[in-house]
Amino acid sequence: MSLAVPQGFRFAGVHAGIKRNTSRQDVSLVVSDRPASAAGVYTKNLVFAAPVEFDRARTPGEGFRAVVINSGNANACTGERGLRDAEEMARLGAAACEAQRDQALVLSTGIIGEFLPLEKIAGGIRECSKQLGTSEDSLVAAARGMMTTDTTHKLTGHSVQIGDRYFNILGMAKGAAMIAPNMGTMLGLVLTDAPIAAADLQTLLNAVVDDTFNSISVDGHMSTNDTVLLLANGAAGGAKLRGAELEQFETGLRAVCGDLARMIPTDGEGATHLISIEVRGCSSKAAARQIAKTIADSPLVKTAIAGADPNWGRIVSAAGYAGVPFNPAKVGLLLNGFKLYENGAPVSFDGSEVSTSIKNNRDTIIVLSLGEGAAKAHFWTADLTAEYVRLNADYHT
């Protein structure tokens, strides 16, 4: 693995006993060796978890030294005790790197409605503090510490040159189900050694959310814990980025967030296909995005792809109930490059050939054209399989 790891950050992840499987990490610690700016985006679910409330009150802000992460327990729907537990988790993380209690942020994911096992988390944080490092193993362990039903850790990194300076941007995320973003989605942590003020960092994160984390779906279920944090510690040196420099940095940030966003439906629970949906020819980007999201959330579209069925009717009809006006007579549809529908009517195609193209490729590409304008939008989702049902039916067993 070759990743652009930002200067001044250290990582660790351990098994602390929250999860029954002793081979899976469940507590992670990410430490900045110098105070960092931080920004965040959070779930818009009215039922939100204690760590969301805790972090939301502190971001955007300056001076952060640590992010503490646990998996296996969401600390959601836990009332006042849950918030106190999130505060204690942050205090423990800050103490582990000799920082102040207000210099840490927290992320939690897992089962809803159970109190945090603070004794186990405290032990995990202590062990993490002994193992902090910058090696590939340390980085992977930290990324694995935020996994729940994910089949693999999710890491990506990019470098950005701005003038004569180089900055690294690193991202890690978790997510395989309960994915229906309305801010950012799942848990994500993005780090950079660029010097950026907290207010500018928040503006940057807000700017990339819609086209990345808000453009994915697995099952249409918005989580109570969705959080994406962005930290910048300035360890690469120099004056804070401003103006056009921030625009250049945004390009790299968008690449990292886009990579992470696509990894999530690729690893969707029970998924056998990543479905990429592009809607073109709309009157506005918002209209294109609404249609793309409606198609992505359709269980009939998702099951058709799972069964390698080039069922154009499910795709076109989903577009029709998206709540966006368009002329059905102008609609065209491509699936994996094969034309299935044109000018509002089906065209002749070899169904077995299209079906084989779906079966033989994990990526399925849907392109819908509406002929209403020049705007377009992308969305990514996973197919829906019997394995998804099994995993979620047996979630507590």
Known catalytic residues are: 185
Name 239's Cβ contacts closer than 8 Å, sequence gap at least 6.
Answer: 195
Beta-carbon contacts of 75 under 8 Å, excluding residues fewer than 6 positions away, are 49, 50, 51, 82, 85, 86, 108, 115, 116
**Among candidate residues 39, 19, 2, 22, the one with its CA nearest the CA of residue 229:** 39
Dist CA 147 CA 110 (whole Å) = 9
Three-class HEC string of 151-204: CCCEEEEEEEEECCEEEEEEEEEECCCCCCCCCCCCEEEEEECCCCCHHHHHHH
Cα separation, 364 vs 358, whole angstroms:
6
Which residue bears the tokens 């945004």?
Answer: 250
Residues in the chain, total: 397
* Calpha distance 102→89 (Å, rounded): 11
Token reading at 20: 């029954």
Q: Report the number of secondary-structure helices (H) and strands (E) in the chain.
A: 11, 15
Measured CA distances, 101 to 53, 271, 274 (Å)? 16, 41, 41
d(CA 236, CA 210): 28
Angle between helices 198-209 and 244-266 (to 10 degrees): 50
